[in-house]
Every structure is written in C-alpha cells, then in structure tokens.
Chains A and B, each alone.
Chain A
Amino acid sequence: MSKGKIKIKINGKKISCSEGDTILNAANRAGIKIPTLCHDYRLEPYGSCRFCSVEIKGMARLLPACTTPAADNMDISTDSETVQRIRTRLVSLMLSNHPNDCMRCEADGDCSLQDLAYEYNVDGSEYGGERWDLPIRQANPFITYEPNKCIVCGRCVRICNEVVMAGTIDFTGRGFNTVPDTAFRTARTLSNCEFCGQCVSTCPTGALTDKKGRGKGRAKDFKKVRTTCGYCGTGCNFFLNVKDNKVVKVTSDYNGPVNHGNLCIKGRYGYDFIHSPDRITKPLIKKGKKFVEASWDEALGLVAKKFSEILKKHGPDSCGAFSSSRCTNEENFLLAKFVRTVFKTNNVDNCARV
C-alpha cells in the first residue's frame, strides 16, 4: 500500500511524515526525543507503560506516541506541563511497588527505571501501601527472575511470543498482581523454554538477569568488546562484557545489522569455552599414538609439506577445502582465495545452508 505524506506539528516544529507512521517514529526521524519504556522497535507497538504519552491539541487525554498513528494536521506537544506531570507520576507509581535496592542490584548502571528515578527525582514513597514480596526464581540454569523488580512492561512476554515464538511466558494474575510468568509458575525448563535469553536482553530493569554473570560485576566494571558470534554463519553481533581480562557475560548489540540484538542460546550463553582449562591453545602433532605440542611454524610447515606432496602427485583436483559456518566472511573469503590460488582448484565449499 502506498501511503501519502502528511504534515504534523511537534512542539511547534512543522514536520512531514508518512501516513500510518506512529508519532514516535515521526518524532525520532525529526530528531525529537520521546522517552519510552515498554517500546522495543523489534516488537509490535504495545502502549503499556504510557511513558511516551504526548499531548495532542483537541484531545482530553494523553495518547502514547508509540502506538498512535500520526494524522494530518496533528498538533503535538511532547514536553508540556501535563506531559511532564504524567511522566513524574508514572515513575513514582512504578517505584511505589519496587524494592528500590539499586546498591545490590545486578542492573545498577544499566537500568531504565534507575535512570528515570534519577531524572525525575522521585522515590514513590508518598503512596505507602502494598509492595510485592515474591520469591526470587533461580531454577533456570541461565536466567534469574526477580519479580519484585518487574515493572510489567511486557517486553519479555512479547519478545518470547513475537520474536522467539516460544510462548514460554505470558501475563498471569490480574490488577496489581499482574506479573509475567510461565504457565502455572513452573520453572523455565527445556520443555518450555529455549534459554535464548531474549527476555533478559529486552528487560529494562534488573528483574531478569543472566544467572552466570551474577555477582561478577556491573555495567561500570565492564569493557564492552563488540564481536561476531563464532557459532554459525548468521554472524550475529554482540558485546563481550569483559572484566579483569575475563568474559563475564554477553549482552546484545541492538545496532547489529544482521541480528538487531537478537541472539540464540549459543551466542548468548555458550561462552564458557573461552576460559575453559580444557581449551587447546597450542598446535598438536600426532607422533605415533600421541598428540605432542608443537610450535605454529612446525605445524604449518608440516601441513604445507603434506599438501604439496599430494598436489604434485595427484594434481590440483585431488584437494579441496570445506569451511565451517562458524567462520567469518573474511575467513571464508581467505580460504576460497587460498584454495583457488594455491591449490589451483575450485573445490571449495561451506557447510552453511539454509
């Protein structure tokens, strides 16, 4: 469907956008920032946190920018007094049912709620009243769930259902007691969960955290090293979170062009091998029945010698190379170049298949 252009006004600034664009998208494109919380551009617009609410001339109520389509001649304000008042209200309401325990929290320094509490300078203490007192959930080998820190934005539920399509979690309970959980509050196990950690990655607070990294450091302690996943040919990008020269955990790179921050269990949690004592770090040459440690020169010399012998005896087509889908594009390119120019054959392939 081809959509026409429409004209809107945001904070007095005239903007042209496409019909069907949400107010949020139109604003972002025009460089106007609207704070969001339940929004994740990988997910369908949802409108639950109401944090992106804006004032539209002629409307009695505020409307969320993330779900509301822009309409011709809309006159929008993203920072009016009412908008600011509602944002402050929302943050304080969130904090009124929150442990407010940043000093011990895994998410300290990497938590949207913490940032908002600081920005709006509220603590939610004016309400008094009930706070959740739900047990911490540790049964899953990769994910720790602290429901008391959940702000019920629904991002975990939606990513699990819309992107992963695993359907592991949904909202349970009603009213104040609404909280994301598995059916019948069973543990996330292999029978219902893929352990992809997508829910953890999208969680804006410390409610869902990577279990393996717990207690090993927080955002400010880490050096983030952007890298490509070594497990498959998709080539997902992510950040290795490094502290004291050790990889402590993997976090999403939302700007990764292939994966937009999405990862599977291997990429997100399969990093134990990096510091494994079993890891082979030097070439081994089989001598008799035993592998013996060797230098790189020695090993590569041996390989070159053997290939040369075969090529001389049986010709170029007697050799070929099969590359792993774990290799990067650059490595694959180099291998192909090598086979064609050194072996002088086209016998080259890769296991990556769709």
Chain B
Amino acid sequence: MAVTKTRPKTELKKLLIKVCVGTGGLAAGSQAVLDKFSRQLKSGGIKAEITKKCTQRTGCRGFCAKDVLVDVIRNGKKSTYQFVDTDKVSRIIKEHIIGGTPVKEWLAGPEYEAFHSKGTKVLLKQCGEIDPEDIESYIETGGYKATKKALKMKPEQVIDLIKKSGLRGRGGAGFPTGQKWELCSNAEGSPKYIICNADEGDPGAFMDRSIIEGNPHSVLEGMIIGAYAFGASRGYVYIRAEYPVAITRLKLAIKEAEKKGFLGNNIGKSKFDFDIRIKEGAGAFVCGEETALIASIEGARGMPRSKPPFPVYQGLWGKPTVVNNVETLATVPLIVFKGPKWFSSIGTKTSKGTKVFALTGKIKNTGLIEVPMGITLKEIIYDIGGGCPGNRKFKAVQTGGPSGGCIPASHIDMPVDYESLQEIGSMMGSGGMVVMDDTTCMVDMARFFLDFAQNESCGKCLPCRVGNKRLYERLKDITEGKGREGDIEFLLSLAEDIKISSLCGLGQTSPNPVLSTIKYFRDEYDAHIREHRCPAGVCEAFRKYIVNAEICKMCGKCFKECPSGAITWKRKQPAFIDRDKCVKCGNCYEVCPFHAIL
C-alpha cells in the first residue's frame, strides 16, 4: 500500500488560512483575495509560519450569500470572516494574523453559526474542510477506508448493507438504492454500467456541484463501491459543462485515485476492474432524466425513452445500468464505513439519513443546508433560514424545483420526507427549496415554472410539448390581466391530462406548480381573473399608478425617480400622478417605501 505522506501538522496548528474558492466564492472574487493573502504574507516576511499549502482551496461550505468567506486559524483558534474583499486583506493580516486580535466587525455573525449548527452535517462535513485537490487530505480523514472495507465483503453483502440502511435516491424519485443495485445485479447482460447523475438542472440548485467541488473523492468512492456491489466495469459521471470547477476537480480526483490504485485493474487485489469517465452535458434540464442522459452519453439527442424497459435492464448501449445521483453516491461510503445502523438512526421511518437543500428565495440566510429527514419546514425556514427578510410574512415554499409544488404556510409544521411531500402535491426533488413571502404572486410563480418547463421540454411527446405551452400561455394571460371565467377549470383539466399522459418525469410533474398553487391559493387566481388585481402587487398589468393619499408619507422618493415628470409632489402634500404623462415604467412603484402606489 502506498505510504501516506503526512502533512506538517505542527505548522498547520500555528496558522491556516482557508479561502472559499467554490463557484460562489470565485464569483465573489476569492481568487484575488487568495492571491493577495499569499502576496502580502510573503512580502510581510511571515514566511516560516505559512507555506503554500496552508492556504487551502477549500470547497464550498454552503453559505455563498456571505462570500468570500475566509477562515483564519491561529494557534488552533478558528475565526471566520464574511464578505472579504481584497481591501480587507491588509487589515486582517495586520490586526489578526500579526496582532492576534480578530477584526470583530468583519467576522461572520451568529447567523453563520446558526446556519451551520442547526443542521446535521454528515455529507457536507468535509466540504470546506479538506482539500478537494489533494487525495491525501481525503485519505487522512478516513477516505477510501469504506472502499477497502467493501472490497473485503462479498458483493451481495454490500448490497444488503445498503438495503438495510434504508438509503433512497436523492435525485428526485427516492427509489431505494440497495434495491436498484440488486435489480441490476440480477439483470442479464454484460458489461454493466454505473452512471453518476451530476446534471443538476433545477433552477437555483447547487447541492451536487458543491459536493463535487468540495469532496470529489466521496462521489468516486460511492461509484466504486456500487460498481463492485452489482458488477459494473465502467462508470460515467454525467456533469453539466457549466460546472468547470467541479469538472477540473473531478478529473484530478480520478487521476489521483487511479494512481493510488482505487481505480483501474485489480483494485485492492480483489480482481475487480473498474474505471470512470466524464461526459460533459450541454446543460439541458431534461438530460437529468436518466434515459435522456443515457441517450446523450450514447451521442444522440437527449430525449427520454419510454420506461419500461428500465435502465437497470436496458440502459447505456442497451446494457444493465444504474443511474444514481451525486448525493446518493456520496452517502454510500459513509454508510459502508459507519454501518447501516448509524445511517438509519437518522431520519424518519421511511426516509433515512440527511438531505442537502439549496435554500433560496425570500429568506434571510440563503445557501446550502444539510438536515436530517423529518425535520419540519418551520425549523428550516425560521431556525436555519432566519425567516423572510424584512420580517415579511412567510407565504409558501416550493420544493422539488419545477417538478414540485408549493407548500403553504399553513403546513409549516409538516415533516420534510419523501411521503409527506408527495402527499401534499410536491416532491423531494433533488433539493431545491425556494421560499416565498407575501410579495410573491403565486400565479406569477406558477407562470415562471411553466415557462421553464415549456422551454426545457425535449419536444418528444405531444402532451408535454404542446400542453405545457398552452398552460404557460394561459397563465401568462392571467398575469397580464387577460384572464377569463373558466380559466381555472381549463388549467386544472389540462394539467391533469398532461400529468397522466406524458412520457417522462418532466411532463408528468411539470403541471405540479399550477395544480398546487390553484389548490392552496385559488383566491389569488380569482383576484387576477375576476377583480383584475394582483394581491402581491407583482403583476405589472394590474398596476394603476395611483397614489393612495392615505398611505403616502410624502417622502418624495417617487417624484425623484419619475423619468417623465408625471409626478407632482410638494412638501407636506401627498404625491400625485398625472396618468396622461405616466409611461408606466414602474419606477415609482418599486421605490415607494410605503407601498403607497397602487
């Protein structure tokens, strides 16, 4: 076995600087921050204390809203800075690294702590801690032990272990992973394939990207163990080309794993051969659907195939194939290492373990969270997310992206697990969670998701291709003030028909946002159609551009923003809009702090 090179631990203890260079961090300018740190430390003569390695390129820690995040670990004590830019580097070095006193006002506040302490970090634990570009860093923290353990077991035993853990797919449908592997193991045909689905197309979701960027080896390990368990000889990672950082790290990880003998021929002297290839996808949402993904790897246009036959029997090149999500696979080594009992002790009766969500929308703390299955929405939204910004009223949350539905505030005590979400007309999906407050129009929200669905439909089957377009058009009409009596019934019946007759999961679920918003917010639809009013004030067609003199606080802000001189305003008088001059630009509406403009 290769000797693990140990890192200079004593030096690490003294001074370690961790800069977030996940995609979120990079976008916020972390490369420049990182460069400045190393330059200044060097020129400042702090040379013996800090080596190049100390500035680790940590993966995403899931709190990108506060990027660039920088950890400074001095004498074993960690302080985390938020919103670091290059201008802040000098002072941090001077006062904290040299002086020993952290710059208090730039430190991440209690929100940062809450964001991280309320969840249960199992999968994301190592993301942001280990160096994703160094296999040693992963091995040091127990990496590849699970692989070695699995290779000493019989394949059936590995499948059994995963079955016992109760792990279910994290890619959307929640199919039991152990069972999927068993079906493939028993399927006739060879070779067999394992595919890691890293297409992650839900708008706003970035769980899988963060796992690969922060801990690529955990995904490889999951693939190796799966391949061994059901007899695959080749793996593919299907990853969207829009994830360049993840791709680079994955490539490096594969190379390193090959060097270490975890990939290749006769892995761990177990006569097990397995290699992994990367296939970059062009970013079509539908290519996340497993049969479309397979078609795409085969070089065809990414269009789904009818199931049955299922990929476990006839998948890639017509051979038995397992498609698993990134998060599913990254969980596998943990289960093998810590045992199925440990895993099944987390979560509910039918939904085990933890789930990573991307919390976005009208919520104070946006970012990645990892929570135990069965946690209530309330805990996620208030304890972790900190509620809606400006203390606005929480209205609903959309899970499952464009395939899911909205869950109204009245169900806030609902546990988050596969069955409960399904029951309420939404789904787990891959983990997007979009929070909405009283400034979100539910009709407009449904329109947004249907616009996405009709654009991303592959066009193969008629109900999805034309049906979703017609749903979208009708929703658009309603938000533009062209709604008519009977529209709701039209939407309901068309949505139902699309769901039961479409070919793949996209069409089968794309009407969910319409159905669930009608179910829980029918009054908003009625307001648009019958009263020509958008209760949330989002749909521009309904704006009257009249100042409500009773609410107007006479601040004059609208007056300053009006490009056409339509507003008259004098001190101590409410503003007045001359509707003949108004060009309906919406500036005044947006700017009025008191929502006095109707």
Contacts and interface: CB of A to CB of B under 8 A. Distances in A.
B501 A175 contact: no
Contacts of A12: none
Interface in A110-154: 126-130, 151-152, 154
A174 B284 CA distance: 10
Interface string B339-380: 000000000000000000000000000000000000000000
Contact of A152 (B459, B490, B497, B501): B459
Contact of A61 (B461, B473, B494, B500): B500
Interface stretch (B65-73, B449-457, B543-551): B449-457
A50 B503 CA distance: 8
Contacts of B460: 48, 154, 171, 178
A170 B305 CA distance: 16
Given A61-B500, A171-B303, A176-B454, A96 B470 contact: yes
B458 interface: yes
B473 A178 contact: no
Nearest to B303: A171
A64 interface: yes
Instruction: Please classify the interface of chain B as helix (H, G, I), strand (E, B), loop, or mixed, using the class held by over half of its residues.
Output: helix
Contact of A176 (B457, B463, B474, B497): B457
Nearest to A154: B460
Nearest to B304: A47
Interface string B456-477: 1111111101111110011000
A166 to B, nearest CB: 16
B466 A69 contact: no
Interface in B298-357: 301, 303, 305-306, 308-309
Interface string A174-215: 111110000000000000000000000000000000000000
A319 interface: no
Contacts of B462: 48-50, 90, 93-94, 151-152
A93 B503 contact: no
Interface in B415-472: 454-463, 465-470
A48 B466 CA distance: 12
B458 A178 contact: yes
B508 interface: yes
A105 interface: no
B459 A173 contact: yes
A63 B309 CA distance: 12
B240 interface: no
Contacts of B456: 174-175
Interface stretch (A81-89, A217-225, A233-241, A264-272): A81-89
B309 A96 contact: no
B217 interface: no
A93 B463 contact: yes
A305 B550 CA distance: 119
Contacts of B57: none
A321 interface: no
Contacts of B215: none
B473 A175 contact: no
A178 B499 CA distance: 20
B497 A85 contact: yes
B301 A170 contact: yes
Nearest to A151: B462
B461 A174 contact: no
A47 B303 CA distance: 12
Interface in A61-109: 61-64, 67-69, 82, 85-86, 89-90, 93-94, 96-97
Contacts of A47: 305-306, 461, 503
Contacts of B306: 45-47, 63-64, 67-68
A94 B461 CA distance: 11
A77 B312 CA distance: 28
Interface string B483-503: 000000010001001011111
Interface size class, chain B = 20 to 34
A252 interface: no
Contacts of B466: 93-94, 96-97, 176
Specify the main secondary structure of chain A where it touches its partner: loop
Contacts of A62: 500-501
A53 B508 CA distance: 14
B455 A128 contact: no
B455 A174 contact: yes
A61 B470 contact: no
Contact of B501 (A50, A151, A178): A50
B308 A177 contact: no
Nearest to A53: B501
Contacts of A129: 469-470, 473-474
A86 B500 contact: yes
Most A C-beta atoms less than 10 A away, residue of B301, B454, B501:
B501
Contact of A171 (B301, B494, B500): B301
A50 B459 contact: no
B301 A93 contact: no
Nearest to B503: A47
A274 interface: no
A230 to B, nearest CB: 38
Contacts of B499: 61
Contacts of A85: 497
B431 to A, nearest CB: 24
A339 to B, nearest CB: 51
B303 A175 contact: no
A309 B470 CA distance: 82
A171 B459 contact: yes
Contacts of A68: 306, 308
A165 interface: no
Nearest to A129: B473
A354 interface: no
Given A96-B466, A176-B465, A130 B473 contact: yes
Interface string A11-47: 0000000000000000000000000000000000111
B418 to A, nearest CB: 16
B502 A50 contact: yes
Contacts of B473: 127-130
A178 B465 contact: yes
Given A45-B306, A50-B502, A61-B501, A93 B454 contact: no
B464 to A, nearest CB: 9
Contacts of B467: 89, 93
Interface of A: 45-50, 53, 60-64, 67-69, 82, 85-86, 89-90, 93-94, 96-97, 126-130, 151-152, 154, 170-171, 173-178
29 contacts: A47-B305, A53-B501, A60-B500, A61-B499, A64-B306, A68-B308, A82-B500, A85-B497, A86-B500, A86-B501, A90-B501, A93-B466, A94-B462, A127-B470, A129-B469, A152-B459, A170-B301, A171-B303, A174-B455, A174-B459, A175-B454, A175-B456, A175-B459, A175-B465, A176-B457, A176-B459, A176-B465, A176-B469, A178-B460
9 closest A-B pairs by beta carbon, nearest first, are A178-B459, A67-B306, A47-B306, A176-B469, A129-B473, A175-B457, A93-B466, A89-B497, A61-B500
Given A50-B503, A129-B470, 8 more contacts: A61-B508, A86-B497, A89-B494, A93-B462, A152-B465, A174-B458, A176-B459, A178-B457
